[in-house]
A and B are shown apart, each in its own frame.
Chain A
Amino acid sequence: MTRRSPTETGWPYSRPSAADKRNTMITIVLQQEAIDPGRIIRDTGSDADGALVSFIGRVRSSSRGNTVLSMEYETYDEMARKQLQKIAEEATSRWSLTDCTVVHRYGRVAIGEASIVIAASSPHRREAFQAVQFIIDTVKEKVPIWKKEFYSDGSSWIDGKK
């Protein structure tokens, strides 16, 4: 598999120094436009990896008994990027990933669309599975992103658990 460079894909890639030294790659993206999970899966990992695990978080049509029409994500951009980078670096070093991509949406996201896509690549499957589980759990706990649900008769912020 040939890895495309950031300039070829045109994504706003961000690279960590520590992970690069170990010949691994971390890609963090916050974007308003729809996420293409297929593209992320194609672009993550290399032929040296036996496993690529991906997680796609989607916007549900119902929540707490309400019919949700759409969702809006607000981000604290600079801090969210820093936190995502830290989480990906920790996952990469704990589970020896060779490549890790985390893409999160902001702004209005339609029902059924992906709000987050995580892809982790490693020589063996166990590490990639554990890393992806860790990343999504930690994103939900630490990354400053908030969602607001829109219903036919109003909207409501979903505050996470402390």
Chain B
Amino acid sequence: MKIKVKAFASVREAFGFDEKELTVSDGITVKDVIRQITRSYQPAIDREMTLLFSINEEYCRDDAPLSDGDRLAIFPPVSGG
């Protein structure tokens, strides 16, 4: 199945992309996708870095499963306002 991955702010810079379509196996979780990205793109991501996730613009946990066509976003804690 295919999913769209979006990265923002410091995570976008570490990953080296802002949006990417990935082909992944059915039932994959957010955690697995992160592992896959880390392996493929060798991002300069700090292990201590706190990451937040959303699927289709709703916050989710890292064990949330993904479905075909989902939009997964990965980003650092927010700092707007």
Binding site for B on A (CB under 8 A): 57, 73-76, 78-80, 82, 104, 115-116, 136, 139-148, 157-162
Q: Is B10 part of the contact surface with A, judged by Cβ < 8 Å?
A: yes
Which residues on B sit within 8 Å (CB–CB) of A148? 9
CB distance from A25 to the nearest CB of B (A): 22
Given contacts A74-B8, A82-B57, A146-B9, are A159 and B77 in contact (CB under 8 A)? yes
Which residues does chain B contribute within 8 Å of A80, judged by CB atoms?
A: 80
Task: Identify 9 new A-B residue pairs, CB closer than 8 A, beyond the known A142-B59, A158-B79, A162-B50.
Answer: A74-B9, A78-B57, A79-B54, A80-B80, A140-B81, A144-B54, A157-B10, A159-B79, A160-B79
Q: Which residues of B are interface residues toward A (Cβ below 8 A)? A: 6, 8-10, 12-13, 50, 52, 54, 57-59, 73, 75-81
**Nearest neighbor of A145 in chain B, beta-carbon distance:** B80
Question: Secondary structure at chain B's binding surface: helix, strand, loop or mixed?
Answer: mixed
Contact between chains at A104 and B80 (CB < 8 Å):
yes
**Distance to closest chain B CB from A40 (angstroms):** 16
Please list 17 pairs of residues, one from A and one from B, whose beta carbons are closer than 8 Å in the complex, sorted by A's number. Answer: A76-B57, A79-B57, A79-B73, A80-B80, A115-B81, A144-B52, A144-B73, A145-B79, A145-B81, A146-B8, A146-B9, A146-B10, A146-B80, A147-B79, A157-B10, A161-B77, A162-B50
Tally inter-chain residue pairs, CB-CB below 8 A: 82
Complex CA distance for A29 and B10, rounded to whole angstroms: 24
B57 touches A160 (CB 8 A): no
Tell me if A162 and B79 are in contact (CB < 8 A).
Answer: no
Least CB distance, B18 to chain A, in whole angstroms: 10
Q: How far in angstroms is the closest Cβ of chain B from A59?
A: 11
Say whether B80 contacts A73, CB under 8 Å.
yes
A152 to B41, CA, bound (A): 31
- The answer to whether A159 and B80 touch across the interface, beta carbons within 8 angstroms, is no
Query: Which residues of the partner chain B approach A136 to less than 8 Å between Cβ atoms?
Result: 81
Expressed in whole angstroms, the Cα–Cα distance for A14 and B31 within the complex equals 34
- Asked if A140 contacts B78 (CB within 8 A), the reply is yes
Once the chains are docked, how many angstroms separate the CA of A76 from the CA of B53?
12
